[in-house]
Structure 1
Amino acid sequence: MVTFDEIDRRILKLLQRDASLSLEALGEAAGLSRNGCWRRVKALEDAGVIKGRVTLLDPEMLNLSLTVFIQIRTKSHDANWLKHFARATREMPEILGAYRMTGDLDYLIRARVQDVKDYDALYQRLISRVDMSDVSASFVMEELKETTELPL
């Protein structure tokens, strides 16, 4: 675990909101020179705290307005099945997240698709690649909060 001071936290908060900030703007907001800010950002990258920088796209503008959570139960809990399942989910671009769960569910998938017909195509591809005992889906009717910002 990496220890952060208040300046590191300020830099991380700012970068989470807008990774396109120039070093000058970032340094000014964090109270550092451009070079001092660059050293801090570089250290956070080297430590693995900053994993990458991305551009967030508007799914509505890309005709991907339906978020679906896919709940999966499986009869198989061996390492080979998990490896096969993980590979299949990584290779399907509509799948944004796949998680092994505690409780009644074995796995939960979060995906973005155009509509229910598009979801069905994803479902058909998934079940053709991976043996599962039960698959169900829930469609998001209203998005109340969606963020990539971690609490600091």
Structure 2
Amino acid sequence: MTELDLIDRKIVAALMEDATLPIAQIADRVGLSQTPCWKRIQKLEAAGVLKSRVALADPAKLGFGLSVFVEIEAVDHSGEWREAFVRTIDSLPEVMEAFRMAGEMDYLLRVAVADMAAFDDFYRRLTDAVPLKNVTSHFAMERLRYTTAYPVNTRDR
């Protein structure tokens, strides 16, 4: 883990809140001048703390009104099967997030699709591509909270 000082944490928090903030505003928020602030941002990017800067879109306005959480039990736990599964989910753009889990399920996917027909198409492509022991789908009715910002401590420790 990269050890971040208070200024680095404040920079990261500001960028997670709004990556379009001008350097001058970020520098002002964290108590630096622009050049040192920009150099810190570059170091955070080089260290991999800041992975990318993206725009967040409203899925419904883009035609992705259905969120589905898909639990998967693997047929086996071999490296070959796992590699085939990863290739499969990488080829399915509807998969927004994928996690290898501990517990009853082996994998959990968050899938974004337009509607039930689109999910059925996704399901068929997924299950045709790689053998699966069990697939259970949970359909989200309403998103109550969403953030991409981690709760970084911006207070002096």
Normalising by structure 2, we get a TM-score of: 0.94
Aligned residue in 1 for 2:33: 33
User: Equivalent residue for 2:69?
Assistant: 69
Residue matched to 1:135? 135
Give yes or no for the alignment of 1:87 onto 2:87.
yes
Distance 1:71 1:99 in 2: 10
Structure 1, unaligned stretches of length 5 or more? none
The residue type equivalent to 2:27 in the other structure is: G
2:113 and 2:18 mapped to 1: Cα distance? 26
Alignment of 1:1-150 (within 5 A): 1-150=1-150
TM-aligned CA deviation for residue 75 of structure 1? 2.1
Structure 1 residue 43: Cα displacement: 1.0
Higher relative contact order, chain-length normalized (CA < 8 Å, sep 6+): 2
| Cα distance in 2 between the residues matched to 1:25 and 1:12 | 13
Q: Distance in 2 between matches of 1:9 and 1:41?
A: 11
Q: Secondary structure at the match of 1:99?
A: strand
Deviation above 2 Å: which 4+ runs of structure 1?
none
Look up the match of 2:155. Answer: none
Give the total of aligned pairs.
Answer: 152
Q: Aligned with 1:49: secondary structure?
A: coil
SS of equivalent to 1:42: helix
State the Cα distance separating 1:141 from its structure 2 match.
0.8
Question: How far apart are the structure 1 equivalents of 2:4 and 2:72?
Answer: 38
TM-score by length of 1: 0.97
Give, in angstroms, the shift of residue 9 of structure 1: 1.0
Measured in 2, the distance between the counterparts of 1:98 and 1:45 equals: 24
User: What is the rounded CA distance, in whole Å, between the counterparts of 1:28 and 1:139 in structure 2?
Assistant: 43
CA distance in 2, matches of 1:75, 1:128: 14
CA distance in 1 between partners of 2:3 and 2:100 (Å): 29
Instruction: Give secondary structure in 1 for the equivalent of 2:62.
Output: coil
Letter paired with 1:70: V
